[in-house]
Chains A and B, each alone.
Chain A
Amino acid sequence: MQERVLDCLGEPCPVPLVKAQRALEDLEAGDILIVQIDHSCAMKSLPEWARDAGHNVEIEEIDNGEWEVVIEKS
C-alpha cells in the first residue's frame, strides 16, 4: 500500500490533472495519491475526472483557496 503526495500548489490548469494522471498510472489499485492544489478550476476538474475514472475521491479545503484531493486508486 503506497501513498504519494503530489505538490501542485501554484500550478495552473491543466498541469495538476496531467500530473495526477501520470502519477496514477504508476500506482497500484488501493494506493493513495494526495494532490495539493490551489487552482480553483482544478478543485472541480480533478475530482470530477478521478470519479469518472472510477476512483474513490475526497476533497478537503485546507486553507483559503488551498485544497487536498485524496484519490484512492481502484
Chain B
Amino acid sequence: MIDGESRMWKKLSDALGRNEYYLLWLKDAWPYLTGALLLSILQIATMAVAGNPWGISGAITNWGAWTIEALGGSVEHWYYFSSESARAVLDRGILQDPVSIRNFGIIAGALFSVLIASSFKLKKIRTGKQVTAAVLGGLLMGYGMRVALGCNIGAFYSGISVLSLAGWVYGVFLLLGAIVGGKLLVRFFM
C-alpha cells in the first residue's frame, strides 16, 4: 500500500518535472524584469490593504527584544522600546505581529521555491572567513539599519517609492557603502 503510494508520487512528480510549464514557471530562474513587475504589484497591494508599504527591519529588532525577554531579561528601560506603540507590539507577541509573520513568509516562500524546483541543498560553511564575514557584516548591517530607520526595503525601495527624499539620500550612501564593502570583500574575504 505504502509502496504503491510512493510509486504514484514518483510517477506524478516525474511527469510534472518534464512538463514545459513546470520548467518555465517553477524550475528555471525568471527574468529580473518579471521579478521587478511582480514585486511592484505586491508592494502596491500591500500599500492598498495595510496602509503602509513593505518593510522588514522593525520586526528584526523586535525579534531581538523577544529573545531578551524569553531569556528572562527585560527591555522595559530601553529608550527604543519605550513608546506605547512599541510596547503594544512586544506585548502582543511575535505570532500576532504582522511584519514578523511576513518575514517568516519570505523565508517559507523561498524554501518552497527551491523545493518545488528540486534545488534545495543545505549549504555548509566552507571557511572560517565566511563566519567572520557573516558576523561582521550582520553586525554592521543591523546597526546601520536601526540608525538609518530601515533596510534596503523599508528605507530604500519603499522610501523612494513613497516619494521621500530620505529614500534617495539613503540610496546614494548605500551605494557608497556597497562599493567600499566590495573592495573589502575581495581584499579580505575571498
Contact = CB atoms under 8 A, between A and B. Distances in A.
Interface in A9-66: 9-12, 14-15, 18-19, 38-40, 43-44, 61, 63-66
A10 B114 contact: no
B118 A64 contact: yes
A66 B121 contact: yes
B67 interface: no
Given A9-B126, A10-B126, A43-B29, A18 B121 contact: no
B interface secondary structure, majority: loop
B119 interface: yes
Interface string B65-92: 0000000000000000000000000000
A10 B124 contact: yes
Main secondary structure of the interface of A (DSSP, over half): loop
B130 A12 contact: yes
Interface residues of B, number: 16
Contacts of A66: 121
A8 to B, nearest CB: 10
B121 A38 contact: yes
Interface of B: 29, 114, 118-121, 123-127, 130, 182, 185-186, 190
